[in-house]
Amino acid sequence: MGEAPALFVDDLLHGEISNGFALKSKGIQTTTRVGDKTYVIGGTDDESTSTIGVQIFNRSTGELTIPMVLGTKPKPCKGHSAVFLNEDRILVIKGDSPPDDCIWFLEVDTKFVRQPKENFQTEVVAWSKGVRGEAEKPIVISGPSGVGKGTLICKLMKEFPSMFGFSVSHTTRAPRDKETDGVHYHFTDRSVMEKAIRDGKFLEFARVHGNLYGTSVEAVEVVADAGKRCILDIDVQGARSVRASSLEAIFIFVCPPSFEELEKRLRERATETEEQIQKRLRNARTELEQGKSSGLFDHILVNDDLETCYQSLKKLLGLDEFIGTTPKPLPEFVNLPVDHSVSKVDHKILISCGIRRA
């Protein structure tokens, strides 16, 4: 792929972008053509001047609309470039930005945005931040029942909805109020699940607190197929099985600040009978011993104050910019890659940057 043509928003009605590829901004806006729509990225929209705006120009109707924008939005920068990728998202590289804030994706036609588009009958896009380092590895989160794994995962998925996907496990336990089949779990009969296990459909499974739980191969594939990073909420036995499997993952163990606090959280959640709570607490002692000492886990987080723990989780996933009161180190700024080409090898997107021109 050669150098992409530069085009500015003023050219929208007049110019044609023949290949739908990258456009370069001199600091304000880029336009990227996707079918009969042109995504105008940069400047501001009606919503905010503190984030990069997105507008959509419909070439057939001549209308310029402001879409519903999901996900954490990037802050404005001195300039950026935009490249249409994978037929469903636009890669945005911010100029003069710290390395952990320079790569973003604007999803324009992924599964994640197609559903709300249909529901709300409006244009929808979603921002997600590119992650450095171990970006593509699934994340296994374990810890005793009631420690807050689900709460932390919910926060992560809410802040980065288009970056992470939850591996929906199968279980033989009964659904709780407000739990939905296919969303929180695939609630399954024991005989059906046992047959699927025998048929090799599960990456891992375990008997936990008297019920059968398991991660199907399909549950992980669904997330990967959506181009997202998979999060698994599984017990320590399951984590051990995944470690032994071919799935390369990051393993995180979440501990409570004290056993008393764990018991308090389980009771206050009020989703289990007293007998179940006692069983979960007994199992928690074993899990805590194993989790802390087995060497199975890459990271151990203590979930005392929820927000502090969440910031630590984001930090170890490379998603933070600024934690608490720690002074921000002086960033090394990334120059805007004015010339770049994009190719896909082994499911990785390679961005080759040319020499920056004055």
Ligand X SMILES: Nc1ncnc2c1ncn2[C@@H]1O[C@H](COP(=O)(O)OP(=O)(O)OP(=O)(O)O)[C@@H](O)[C@H]1O
Catalytic residue among 114, 190, 280, 357: 280
Name the phi and psi angles at 351, rounded to 5. Answer: -110, 115
Given a contact cutoff of 8 angstroms between Cβ atoms, the answer to whether 348 and 8 are in contact is: no
3-state DSSP assignment of residue 121 = coil
Which of the listed partners (ligand X, ligand LQESDW3C, none) does 117 bind, with a CB threshold of 5 to 8 Å by partner kind? none
Please choose, from the candidates 216, 208, 244, the residue with its C-alpha nearest in 3D space to the C-alpha of residue 232: 216
Least Å distance between CB 173 and ligand LQESDW3C?
5
Q: Looking at 74-82, 144-152, 191-199, 318-326, which segment touches ligand X (CB under 6 A)?
A: 144-152
| CA distances (Å), origin 84, targets 92, 126, 256 | 9, 14, 44
**3-state class (DSSP) for residue 288:** helix
Residue 269 binds which one of ligand LQESDW3C, ligand X, none, with CB within 5 to 8 A depending on kind?
ligand X
Q: Does 233 bind ligand LQESDW3C (CB under 6 A)?
A: yes
What SS3 state is found at 325?
coil
Is 190 considered catalytic here? Answer: no
Position 300 contacts ligand X (CB under 6 A): no
> Least distance in Å: CB of 65 to ligand LQESDW3C?
41
91 binds ligand LQESDW3C (CB under 6 A): no
Please enumerate in sequence order all residues whose Cβ is within 8 A of that of 263, keeping only pairs 6 or more positions apart, or say none. Answer: 146, 277, 281
> Shortest CA distance to 142 belongs to which of 239, 217, 223, 213?
239
315 binds, among ligand LQESDW3C, ligand X, none (CB under 5 to 8 A by kind): none
Q: Which is nearer to ligand X, 176 or 195 (CB)?
A: 176
Q: Which residue has the tokens 């104050």?
A: 305
Q: Is-catalytic flag, 176?
A: yes
Q: Tell me the HSE value of 14 on the side-chain side, using a 13 A CA sphere.
A: 5
Sequence-distant (≥ 6) Cβ neighbours of residue 221 within 8 angstroms? none
Using DSSP's 3-state secondary structure scheme, residue 342 falls into strand
Report the residue closest to ligand LQESDW3C, judged by CB.
238
By CB under 6 A, is residue 306 in contact with ligand X? yes
State whether residue 60 is helix, strand or coil. coil
* Residue 269 in contact with ligand X, rule: CB under 6 A: yes
Catalytic-role residue among 132, 176, 207, 356: 176
* 269 in active site: yes
Distance CA 104, CA 75 (A): 11
- For ligand X, which stretch binds (CB under 6 A), given 66-74, 122-130, 149-157, 171-179? 149-157
Considering only the stretches 191-199, 265-273, 293-301, 338-346, report the one whose residues sit in contact with ligand X under the rule CB under 6 A: 265-273
- Per CB under 6 A, the list member of 29, 110, 241, 303 interacting with ligand X is 303
Footprint on this chain of ligand LQESDW3C (rule: CB under 6 A):
145, 149, 169, 173, 204, 206, 208-209, 213-215, 233-235, 237-238
Footprint on this chain of ligand X (rule: CB under 6 A):
143, 145-151, 265, 268-269, 303, 306
